Structure 1
Amino acid sequence: MFKEDTLKNEVILITGGGSGLGLSMAQKFAELGADIAICGRTEKKLEKATEELKKHGTEVRYYPCDVRDYEAVGEMIKGIIKDFGKMTGLVNNAAGNFLSASEDLSPGGFKAIVDIVLHGSFNCTHHFGNYLIKQKEKGNILNIVTTYAEDAGSAFVLPSACSKAGVLAMTRSLAYEWGTYGIRVNAIAPGPFPTEGAWTRLFPTKKFEKKYLEKIPAGRYGEHEELGNLAAFLMSDMAPYITGETVTIDGGEKLSGGQFNFIDSVMSRGKLKMAFKMLKMKG
């Protein structure tokens, strides 16, 4: 599908690139010739991911950074530009999520997700966008949102739903505003793609997982390679006229309504709230 040099001469930062979908996208970008920067809060995880990514033969560096910290993000972007000589692409992938009845949310729990997802995406986008505008360079920004960021929303993940909706609004706003600078801003809305971390937090039992699978018309979960291919296409010169777009990749799952609305049919509300509290204690 792609030529080996599809992303050659690109320098792409993937936030939350040390594991999960972030690492999978970084793998695809490196495979197609891009130099890679990844960031996250856990240095050990970043070190391991960097070694994996280096097998593709491109330059790879990691940067321990909390995307919630605007000043720290600015220093990271400066470091990437110094180390690589430039930065051409950004993937806002860092996120957080957990299940909770909305009436049981604490202000701190709500704020934690908003800070990572919405503020973190703004922090990285603002610094990178200003760099491109100042240097009069074109660039690409790709935001990872969710299928419930638009239209339906979703029960039991209110902080994530609000945050991702904000990121989606930012995507479209900046695609228009920054189009004049040659900056493309797009989003991907992934459905269920199993990852080690998020999967255990959002699907505590086999019953939950089975019920969820039943609502996907394709009858299966997504494969990381599929998401990587889509991200690579949107970050490449093959999509120069695509901006302000959100591409859903979910096997048709979005058509059934809010992503986690089905949970209400698994067990009583009281039992659900007990299950959510147990999940919170675990992790």
Structure 2
Amino acid sequence: MVLRDDALGGARVLVTGGGTGLGLMMARCFRACGAEVEIWGRRAAVLEPAAAGLDARWQAVDIRDAEAVEAALARSLDAGAGPTHLVNNAAGNFLSRTEDISPRGFRAVADTVLHGTFHVTHALGRRWIAAGTGGAVVSILVTWTRTGAPFVVPSAMSKAAVEGMTRSLALEWGPHGIRLNAISPGLIPTEGMLARIRPGAEDPAGKWSARNPLRRAGTAEDIGTLAAFLLSEGASWITGETVALDGAQHRATGAGTYMDYAAWGDAEWAEARARIKAVDAKDKSARA
């Protein structure tokens, strides 16, 4: 670890979407820096073993439901484990031509990324303000908020809104001692992300790395260390900022990694949808 093992000593960090992927990567780093951790997600079957490996609290919470968020925070407070720090990581995304997206498909992303992020931030922020404790929030965005990106419009729109929340609440809640920052990561390979966003691609991480100015993809240590720093007292005068964590890839490629799909026709899109549905069906079968 680059940071001291007590860099987050005394902190209680809530990580939404903390059972897998980037959320779990960051949670491990927070524990290594001395924090207590609580992870949220919708699937108990995923959260329970992840929390056991972290020695962390967990709750199955649908953050799209504001009342469920309030109830979960109340349980944490009743247990003497009210979060002092928050990482908004829970998200959803899928690859599609925008003209093919249904209202239900749009809501599947926006309800989690935009509404869910606000529900948790709002509920926890109100408690911090009432208690006079201050707090720190890190939200996980995407580099597409800077460049735009085709074929992921619900995610791009929702993440841009979260960035707006970050900047606005940094101003509004700063006097209460609450800091809000964001990270826009590039490609940090996880199995679920690659299966849904690069369906059928051979070695997508390797191809992406070859085009990256630093010639590599991101790692768990990259995002975990940055998130831990932004939550720590070492970043006590940093708020309202978004840090791109992608080896300058967004500057090198402009509109991001999805321009490759501009040449696809109906057949290619149909094949991609079939591959993604197969991944989703496999996940549902595993949860049954």
TM range (shorter): over 0.9
Q: Does 1:177 align with 2:172?
A: yes
Q: Is 1:264 equivalent to 2:261 in the alignment?
A: yes
The amino acid across from 2:244 in the alignment is T
1:143-190 superposed Cα distances (whole Å, 9 cap, x missing partner)? 00000012x211011110111001011110101110010000000000
Q: TM-score scaled to structure 1, two decimals?
A: 0.93
Question: Is 1:246 aligned to residue 247 of structure 2?
Answer: no
CA contact (8 A) 1:7 1:236 kept: yes
The yes-or-no answer on 1:167 pairing with 2:168 is no
- Within the candidate set 107, 126, 131, 2:122 is matched to 126
Does structure 1 retain, via aligned residues, the 8 Å contact 2:200–2:275? no
Describe the shift of the 1:50–1:85 C-alpha distance in structure 2 as closer, same or farther (beyond 3 A).
closer
Matched residues in 2 for 1:2 and 1:261: separation?
34
Structure-2 separation of matches of 1:125 and 1:247: 19
Q: 2 CA distance for matches of 1:196 and 1:268? A: 23
String of CA shifts for 1:123-152, please: whole Å, max 9, x gaps: 0000000000000111001100000012x2
Q: How much does 1:261 deviate?
A: 3.2
How far does the alpha carbon of each residue in 1:174-220 deviate from its partner, in whole angstroms, 9 at most, with x for none? Answer: 01110010000000000000012111111113358265444322222
Could you tell me whether the CA contact under 8 Å between 2:200 and 2:272 is conserved in 1? no
- Alpha-carbon deviation of 1:91? 0.4
Structure 1 contact 24–228 (Cα < 8 Å) conserved:
yes
Aligned ranges for residues 78-227 of structure 1 at < 5 Å? 78-150=74-146, 152-207=147-202, 209=204, 211-227=207-223
Judge which range, 104-113 or 73-82, deviates more. Answer: 73-82
Amino acid at match of 1:219: R
Partner SS for 2:234: coil
User: Counterpart of 1:163 in 2: which secondary structure?
Assistant: helix
Summarize the alignment of residues 20-35 of structure 1 with structure 2, pairs less than 5 Å apart.
20-35=21-36
Deviation at 1:86?
Answer: 3.2
Letter of the structure 1 residue corresponding to residue 157 of structure 2: C
Tell me: CA distance 1:114–1:271, structure 2 relative to 1, closer, same or farther (3 Å): same
CA distance in 2, matches of 1:27, 1:268: 39
For residues 272 and 212 of structure 1, the distance between their equivalents in structure 2, rounded to whole angstroms, comes to: 20
For 1:86 and 1:263, locate their aligned partners in 2 and report how far apart those are by CA, in whole Å: 45
State the percentage of identical aligned residues: 42
> Partners of 1:163 and 1:208 in 2: how far apart?
28
Deviation at 1:272, TM superposition (A): 3.2
Residue type matched to 2:200 in 1?
Answer: T
State whether residues 175 and 183 of structure 1, in contact with CA within 8 Å, keep that contact through their aligned partners in structure 2. yes
Select which of 68, 73, 80 maps to 1:77: 73
Q: What residue identity is the alignment partner of 2:150? A: A
| Aligned residues of 1:156 and 1:260 also touching (Cα < 8 A) | no
Alpha-carbon contact 2:199-2:276 (below 8 Å) kept: no
- Tell me the residue number matched to 1:57: none
Which residue identity does 2:17 align to in structure 1? Answer: G
Q: Take 2:209 and 2:4, find their aligned partners in 1: how far apart are those partners?
A: 34
Unaligned runs of at least 5 residues, structure 1: 55-59
> What secondary structure does 1:130 align onto?
helix
Structure 2 alignment gaps of length 5 or more: 281-288
Alignment match of 1:65 (pick from 53, 61, 67): 61
Give the number of aligned pairs: 276
Q: Provide the secondary structure at the position in 1 that maps to 2:266.
A: helix
Query: SS at 2:212's partner residue?
Result: coil
Q: Is the 8 A contact 1:11 1:84 kept in 2?
A: no
Match of 2:42 in 1: 41
Distance verdict in 2 for CA 1:101–1:130, change over 3 Å: same
- Give the whole-Å Cα distance in 2 for the aligned partners of 1:235 and 1:101: 37
Measured after TM superposition, the shift of residue 246 of structure 1 is 0.3
CA change 1:27–1:103 in 2 (3 A) is same
CA RMSD of the aligned region, Å? 1.5
C-alpha distance in structure 1 between counterparts of 2:272 and 2:105, whole Å: 13
Question: Runs of 4+ in structure 1 displaced over 6 angstroms?
Answer: none
